[in-house]
Structure 1
Amino acid sequence: MTSYDDLTAGFADIVAPSRQARALASALRLGWRPMADRLNGRFVSLTVLRTALEHGTRLLRPDPGVRVEELTGTDADVPIAGEWVRPPEPHDGAILYLHGGGYAFCSPRTHRTLTSRLATDTGLPVLVPGYRLAPEHPFPAALEDALEAYRWLLADLPASRIVIAGDSSGGHLAAALVGEACRAGLPSPGGVVLFSPWVDLSCELSVLSDREYRDPFISPALARHFGRLYVGDHDDWSDPRLSLLDCAGLDLPPFLIQVAEEEVLRGEAERLAEALTESGNSCRLQVWPGQIHVFQLFNRLFPEARAAVREAADFIRDVIPDDATGEAA
């Protein structure tokens, strides 16, 4: 059986948590988390939450030098709305990035600090679909949109030059997309990058983890509320499009998983990494100390967040073939 040490082997360049990271974690632990526990999924206005996030994340400016191009979805050639985030001199290839937000909120705009940094550090354009959100559009709407975006990229690029990435619920969606593409006979992408993936939408694993180390940001009860909004009337939690831990028989591309040491989703990330390696697939797991859920979003503020995105960029360069030779760099 694959051990935890085996999964994390080679990850020696861990950056100690900075003063800024520790301050943010403390503020969330004292302020946000008690309020999230009290809400427990009740009185959560999605309209207010969506508006607050859209406006609040404008304070986190994207990496300078990138160009953002809107996809309207009105043309016959464009399957859904979203945006391209392009570096100054893009290489041949693409990252398909699926944003997090509990399947119910956030957008391509809210994640520009991360998608723009990925574009800059890899030299690859990043496609960020504005997939449909729950509860207006429950499962499998988001997965259908992600599959359409992947098929759209495949029309212009070989699968080996595409990396699929996502954070939190977008990490769940990215992993589900790769599994569904495999089952549907679509070619596999070059690799997969998951930032703090939400593996278990029922939150049974996160409830157990929260008793061991209290997450400063994520309330399992509130997360469960959003999981139920996404699943809707679909009552089969063993559906492979929802349950990610059965990887048997799937020939999947290499995975990189990054997770914070004390976040409640750490146990889920470790279980997914173990399931992937035990099924014969390649997975590298990085556990970052002193960080919060999807800390990579704060790469313009925290040095360790910048280091984490650089690690992801190095992985992407390893799995995407070189432009000139067509061989892995």
Structure 2
Amino acid sequence: MDSLPPSEPAAEVTPLPLAAAAARAGAAHPEPAPGMPRQSRPPSVRSRAISGAIRLGVRPFVHHVPGHAGSIRTARSTVDAAARLIRPSQRVRVLPLSDPQIETGRGERPVTGEWVAARDAQDAPVTGAVLYLHGGGYVVCSPRTHRPITSRLALDTGLPVLVPRYRLAPEHPFPAPLEDAVAAYRWLLARGVPASGIVLAGDSAGGHLAAALAGEICRTGLPGPAGVVLFSPWVDLTCELSIRAQRRARDPYISARSARRVARLVVGPAGFDDPRLALLTCAWSDAPPVLIQVGGAEVLRPEAEALADALTRAGADCELQVWKGQMHVFQILNRVLPEASAAMRETARFVQAVTSPAASGTGAVA
């Protein structure tokens, strides 16, 4: 595969309303004892301030968003507009991708989205990549909204990050997003990127999509990726686990009841019967190494724990990190939260381990 072409200066963005909450945050909490695992330490002052601001200013709105197409379109427009309020960065470059794949003659789906790469990366053939699937409940967000995560992944891992623009519900219910994710993975393989150098990653609904993609790769006999990274994955679209956890969790951001309303739009007329939706009953015996990070305060924590248990029982190599006191997809605030920055470093450690030549073919994580 050819090296990435030059591009305009890239940008990193913290989507509103998270950016507004971050701006009001205070100084970080003093570091606890060095021997304590980072994810087990008490949340920093900055983390508590941001979580409090979001709980008061954002969660009531999210909880009462109606689950119909009109409200989704409004939310999508708001998020897209906020994502354009970006601050330029010279450390990464963002390269648009639009490949209709007409020349293949095999009816492949078009692949659109963007590459995110470190600006100082060497111009050489791409031998590894992160395939990142953005979150947003399958109904909002885009590659642009998640550049704080994809930029950090590119910088910390040294790998380019491919972020496909997959189709969104309710216009395109499941499995349309999965079809687009499979097309992006096949696109990487067709251009010479070895499966042993590809890591699937995603957050929230994108975490569900990344895990569903891993399952689909196994079912269709495609070469398996080196690993999978899931940030606060939305594992169970029926929301049974998160609804039960709603009273106990102090999630400052996500409402399980609103998630269930959105899920009905995601699955469309087919309902929840598609087996590709059901991650907890998937046969994970051939799964690659998996890293799951979830906030200790979020309502989706039981889902992440259930998926980690299912993977472990199937014999997969799964590392579950529960970050104490953190909210849903806290990694997107890695430029302001010390916990988010530390979580991204842990992610880079995992990605580098599973894509190293020594790990190829072993399934082990150093």
- Structure-2 residue corresponding to 1:47: 73
Q: Pick the aligned partner of 2:208 from 172, 183, 192.
A: 172
More displaced, 263-272 or 225-234?
A: 225-234
Contact map agreement 2:47 2:326 (CA 8 A) in 1: yes
CA distance in 1, matches of 2:315, 2:189: 26
1:202-244 deviation per Cα after TM superposition (whole angstroms, max 9, x unaligned): 1111111111123211111111122111100113x35331000
Aligned to 2:64: 38
Distance 1:281 1:58 in 2: 40
How far has the Cα of 1:42 moved from its partner? 6.0
Shift of the 280–247 alpha-carbon distance from structure 1 to 2, 3 Å rule, reads farther
Q: Secondary structure at the match of 2:304?
A: helix
SS at match of 1:211: coil
Deviation at 1:11, TM superposition (A): 8.6
Mapped partners of 1:11, 1:195: distance in 2: 22
Find the residue that maps to 1:72 and give its secondary structure. Answer: strand
Query: Pick from 115, 120, 123: which aligns with 1:84?
Result: 115
Does the CA-based 8 Å contact 2:215-2:284 persist in structure 1? no
Q: Distance in 2 between matches of 1:123 and 1:76?
A: 31
1:191 matched residue in structure 2: 227
Identify which range, 181-190 or 43-52, moves more after superposition: 43-52
- State the TM-score, normalizing by the size of structure 1: 0.90
Deviation at 1:326, TM superposition (A): 9.7
C-alpha spacing 1:169/1:217, structure 2 compared with 1 (3 Å): same
Which of 197, 209, 223 aligns to 1:161? It is 197
Aligned residue in 1 for 2:26: none
C-alpha distance in structure 2 between counterparts of 1:232 and 1:60, whole Å: 34
Residues of 2 paired with 1:220 and 1:322: CA distance? 41
Tell me: CA distance 1:248–1:42, structure 2 relative to 1, closer, same or farther (3 Å). Answer: closer
Q: Does 1:309 align with 2:309?
A: no
Q: Give the superposition deviation at 1:253.
A: 0.1
> Measured at CA, do residues 127 and 69 of structure 1 come closer, stay the same or move farther in structure 2, by a change above 3 Å?
same
TM-score (norm 2): 0.81
Query: Is the aligned partner of 1:104 residue 2:139?
Result: yes
Asked if the contact 1:247–1:276 (Cα under 8 Å) also holds between the matched residues in 2, the reply is no
After TM superposition, the structure 1 = structure 2 runs for residues 243-282 of structure 1, keeping only pairs within 5 Å, are 243-248=278-283, 250-282=285-317
Q: How many residues matched?
A: 318
Cα shift at 1:290:
1.8
Q: 1:153-209 deviations in whole A, cap 9, x for unaligned?
A: 111111110000000000000000000110111111000000000001111111111
Contiguous gaps of at least 5 residues in structure 2: 1-34, 104-108
Choose from 150, 160, 173 the match for 1:125.
160
Whole-Å separation in 2 of the counterparts to 1:84 and 1:12: 33
Counterpart Cα distance in 2 of 1:174 and 1:249: 14
Q: Separation in 2 of the partners of 1:187 and 1:256?
A: 19
* CA distance in structure 1 between the aligned counterparts of 2:283 and 2:117, rounded to whole angstroms: 36
Give 1:318's match in structure 2, choosing from 337, 346, 353: 353
1:73 to 96, 99, 104: 99
Give the Å deviation of 1:147: 0.2
Kept in 2, the 8 Å contact 1:62–1:113? The answer is no
- 2:128 aligns with one of 93, 99, 111: 93
1:201 aligns with 2:227: no
Letter in 2 for 1:214: R
How much does 1:18 deviate?
Answer: 2.2
Is the partner of 2:211 in helix, strand or coil?
A: helix
Cα gap change, 1:264 to 1:55, in 2 (>3 Å): same
Does the Cα contact within 8 Å between 2:284 and 2:314 map onto a contact in 1?
yes
* Cα separation, 2, equivalents of 1:72 and 1:190: 25
How many Å separate the matches in 2 of 1:224 and 1:177?
22
Sort the Cα spacing of 1:60 and 1:291 in 2 relative to 1 into closer, same or farther, 3 A: farther
Q: Is the 8 A contact 2:65 2:71 kept in 1?
A: no
Q: Indicate the residue corresponding to 1:21 in structure 2.
A: 47
Shift in alpha-carbon separation, 1:160–1:98, aligned structure 2, 3 A:
same
- Cα RMSD over matched residues? 2.3
Flag the structure with more relative contact order, 1 or 2, with Cα contacts below 8 A and sequence separation at least 6: 1
**Mapped pair 1:298 → 2:295:** no
CA shift in 2, pair 1:191/1:262, >3 Å = same
Q: Render the CA deviation track for 1:91-124: whole Å, top value 9, x for unaligned.
A: 7300000000000110000000100000000000
Mapped contact 2:97–2:114 kept (Cα < 8 A): yes
1:32 is displaced (CA, Å) by: 1.9
The alpha-carbon distance between structure 1 residues 263 and 37, as it changes in their structure 2 partners (threshold 3 A), is: same
Please state how far the C-alpha of 1:319 moved relative to its aligned partner. Answer: 0.2
Residue in structure 2 matched with residue 7 of structure 1 by the alignment = none
